């Protein structure tokens, strides 16, 4: 059977000729792109050839979803665009969940697609499907290049748009005939970003803040994408405001900063008189806005308008450059009489409550049971992680526990699926992060259920020599589903996994270091060996399926 791949298109073998793949790669290189995450397909050959010419490293994975997650991991680790290429048809459709997740996270990534030839469109060629209606609702832009001469401009546009605030994924596909055709065209110059302007309304917000005695900041992923951590810290310090962080916001104020709080969010947001919600939507994670005291004044700061206004509208909505807005807010509120002293009592009250909550956790941290309590696992892990380790969560309850207790000290060091909540993104993100940050500890936390989605990416880690350490919380169940279903119905279905499965042997078979851990005493040495082995490793820790995560909502 002759496939698209076997028909040799024009432009191949013409050394030095600028076929569309080379034009695309040059455009990527002009934007500083150094890595392309992909899984092979003939529709992409000319793009690979272009990458070879430009010195762009091609990192090939085992499922297209992982290629997109890897691009997202790159973006999250570097705040520069992550780029992936998916072959026509099933390659693109396999990537869709990850594209949707990146949209929810505002992750700046560029998804390049192969595409059946334009000349014969509609004749039923292999893998012929129009991707745009599928991708358009999920991405900032979705475009097909119809002319080889347009490739540099369209490719550069896809990158430039992904990183423009509000950041997010973009999609561009190249029909096979177009991308194998030669043309002469250069990528356009880099656009000059607009000067960062504070949002309108800062004075009004500052007036609220200047007299606040119990202010609180809730900051999320948007702060990270805006690169506004310095301005966030300065605002908190000048006005003495306790800070709660989620998503990629974690680490934007170091976990051990006197104004960083995590265990008292209920008291902090529920008891504040003025809340500043920065770069995070008022979605389920914030009780649809109800986590914040109903009587408090709400100041919202974001790069985009409030998409969830039906949940709760802000008293002052500051839409614009996040960093410039926070800086202007700190200046104006200090000028209007606000200052750290006014909030001392409030900060001390929360610190007392925070210390109490932490003290209450210590029993779980020292829990001696085997199989392990997940909290004991995290206590042991904390002892081996560097301050700037990148920790990636992929799982149910196992990751909910991690989100509670893993401390993040620097921006870009915590990655979770975000509000789209797609399991299976951990290994891919780890691949991207490891490519972006060689020499860093990269640790991916995996539920045993989550591990199954992308287990073959341990092959990718081994082939590319990426020293990622996976840690499985292996409780033999889909705990986040099993326990709530039992609570609701008194029984559960479709919630069991194989108990004590030797997933570490899967990793070993793929060329990684693997260990199974059954008791708390075995864990620390196993983790140390895993981080010291110099390559990818998987530590498969048996955890107690009877531990029920103390969840407020049974269903999201």
Ligand X SMILES: Cc1ncc(C[n+]2csc(CCOP(=O)(O)OP(=O)(O)O)c2C)c(N)n1
The kind and range of the H/E element at 208 are: helix 202-210
Q: What is the 3-state secondary structure (H, E, C) of 279-319?
A: CCCCCHHHHHHCCCCCCCEEEEEECCCCCCCCCCCCCEEEE
Measuring CA to CA, how many Å separate 520 from each of 315, 381, 499, 538? 50, 11, 18, 17
Stretch that binds Mg ion, among 162-170, 186-194, 333-341, 445-453 (CB under 5 A): 445-453
> Which CB sits closer to Mg ion, 448 or 459?
448
# chain residues binding Mg ion, by CB under 5 A: 5
Q: Which does 423 bind (CB under 5 to 8 A by kind): Mg ion, ligand X, none?
A: ligand X
Measuring CA to CA, how many Å separate 336 from each of 2, 175, 179, 206, 330? 74, 59, 59, 7, 10
Pair 34, 202: CB distance under 8 Å: no
CB of 389 vs Mg ion, minimal distance in Å: 23
For Mg ion, the binding residue among 81, 374, 424, 447 (CB under 5 A) is: 447
Q: State yes or no: residue 394 binds Mg ion (CB under 5 A).
A: no
Paired strand residues for 144: 173
Half-sphere exposure of 248 (CA within 13 A, CB side): 28
Stretch that binds Mg ion, among 17-25, 341-349, 422-430, 477-485 (CB under 5 A): 477-485
Q: Which residue is nearest to ligand X (CB)?
A: 447
Q: Residue 331 contacts by C-beta under 8 Å, 6 or more apart in sequence?
A: none
CB of 556 vs ligand X, minimal distance in Å: 9
> Which CB sits closer to ligand X, 33 or 472?
472
For Mg ion, the binding residue among 64, 367, 448, 522 (CB under 5 A) is: 448
> Which CB sits closer to ligand X, 354 or 394?
394
Stretch that binds Mg ion, among 16-24, 55-63, 461-469, 474-482 (CB under 5 A): 474-482
CB of 501 vs Mg ion, minimal distance in Å: 10
CB atoms within 10 A of CB 67: 32
Q: Which two tokens stand for residue 165?
A: 């605030």
CB of 387 vs ligand X, minimal distance in Å: 26
Q: What is the 3-state secondary structure (H, E, C) of 186-205?
A: CCCCCCCCCCCCCCCCHHHH
SS3 at position 170: strand
Cα of first residue to Cα of last residue in the chain, in angstroms, is 48
Q: Which does 422 bind (CB under 5 to 8 A by kind): Mg ion, ligand X, none?
A: ligand X
Q: Which does 219 bind (CB under 5 to 8 A by kind): Mg ion, ligand X, none?
A: none
CB atoms within 10 A of CB 190: 12
> Which CB sits closer to ligand X, 423 or 507?
423
CB of 101 vs ligand X, minimal distance in Å: 9
Q: Which does 480 bind (CB under 5 to 8 A by kind): ligand X, Mg ion, none?
A: ligand X
Q: State yes or no: residue 475 binds Mg ion (CB under 5 A).
A: yes
Measuring CA to CA, how many Å separate 113 from each of 21, 25, 83, 92? 12, 13, 11, 6
Chain residues binding ligand X by CB under 6 A are: 395-398, 421-424, 447-450, 473, 475, 477-481
Paired strand residues for 443: 391, 469
> Which CB sits closer to ligand X, 113 or 396?
396
CB of 441 vs ligand X, minimal distance in Å: 22
CB of 396 vs ligand X, minimal distance in Å: 2
Which residues sit at the interface with Mg ion, rule CB under 5 A? 447-449, 475, 479
């Amino acid at each position: 059977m002759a496939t698209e791949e076997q028909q040799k298109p024009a432009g191949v073998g013409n050394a030095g000729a600028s076929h569309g793949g080379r034009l695309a790669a040059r455009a990527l290189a002009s934007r500083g792109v150094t890595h392309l995450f992909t899984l092979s397909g003939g529709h992409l050959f000319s793009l690979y050839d272009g990458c070879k010419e430009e010195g762009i490293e091609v990192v090939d994975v085992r499922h297209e979803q992982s290629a997109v997650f890897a691009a997202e991991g790159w973006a999250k680790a570097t705040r520069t665009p992550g780029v992936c290429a998916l072959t026509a048809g099933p390659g693109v459709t396999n990537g869709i969940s990850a594209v949707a997740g990146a949209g929810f996270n505002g992750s700046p990534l560029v998804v390049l697609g192969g595409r059946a030839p334009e000349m014969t469109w509609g004749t039923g060629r292999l893998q012929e499907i129009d991707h745009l209606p599928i991708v358009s609702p999920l991405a900032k832009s979705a475009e097909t290049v119809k002319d080889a001469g347009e490739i540099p401009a369209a490719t550069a546009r896809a990158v430039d748009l992904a990183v423009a605030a509000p950041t997010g994924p973009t999609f561009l596909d190249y029909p096979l005939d177009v991308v194998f055709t030669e043309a002469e065209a250069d990528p356009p110059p880099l656009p000059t970003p607009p000067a960062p302007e504070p949002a309108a309304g800062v004075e009004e917000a500052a007036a609220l803040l200047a007299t606040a005695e119990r202010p609180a900041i809730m900051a999320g992923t948007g702060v990270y994408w805006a690169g506004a951590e310095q301005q966030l810290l300065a605002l908190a310090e000048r006005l003495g405001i306790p800070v709660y962080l989620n998503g990629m916001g974690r680490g934007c104020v170091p976990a051990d900063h006197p104004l960083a709080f995590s265990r008292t969010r209920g008291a902090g947001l529920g008891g504040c008189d003025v809340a500043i919600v920065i770069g995070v939507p008022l979605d389920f994670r914030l009780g649809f806005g109800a986590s914040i005291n109903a009587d408090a004044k709400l100041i919202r700061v974001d790069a985009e308008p409030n998409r969830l206004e039906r949940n709760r509208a802000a008293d002052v909505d500051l839409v614009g450059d996040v960093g410039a807005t926070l800086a202007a807010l700190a200046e104006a509120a200090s000028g209007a009489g606000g200052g750290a002293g006014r909030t001392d009592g409030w900060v001390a009250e929360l610190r007392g409550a925070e210390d109490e909550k932490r003290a209450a956790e210590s029993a779980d941290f020292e829990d001696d049971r085997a199989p392990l309590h997940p909290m004991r696992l995290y206590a042991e892990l904390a002892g081996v992680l560097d301050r700037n380790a990148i920790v990636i969560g992929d799982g149910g309850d196992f990751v909910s526990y991690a989100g509670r207790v893993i401390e993040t000290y620097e921006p870009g060091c915590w990655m979770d699926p975000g509000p789209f909540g797609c399991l299976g993104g951990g290994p891919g993100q780890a691949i991207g992060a490891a490519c972006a940050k060689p020499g860093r500890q990269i640790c991916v936390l995996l539920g045993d259920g989550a591990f199954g989605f992308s287990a073959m990416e341990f092959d990718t880690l081994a082939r590319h020599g990426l020293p990622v350490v996976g840690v499985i919380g292996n409780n033999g169940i889909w705990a986040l589903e099993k326990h709530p279903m039992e609570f609701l119905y008194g029984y559960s279905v479709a919630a069991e996994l194989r108990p004590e499965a030797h997933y570490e042997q899967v990793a070993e078979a793929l060329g990684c270091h693997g260990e199974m851990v059954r008791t708390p005493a075995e864990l620390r040495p196993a983790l140390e060996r895993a981080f010291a082995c110099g390559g990818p490793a998987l530590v498969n820790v048996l955890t107690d399926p009877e531990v029920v995560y103390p969840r407020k909502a049974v269903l999201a």
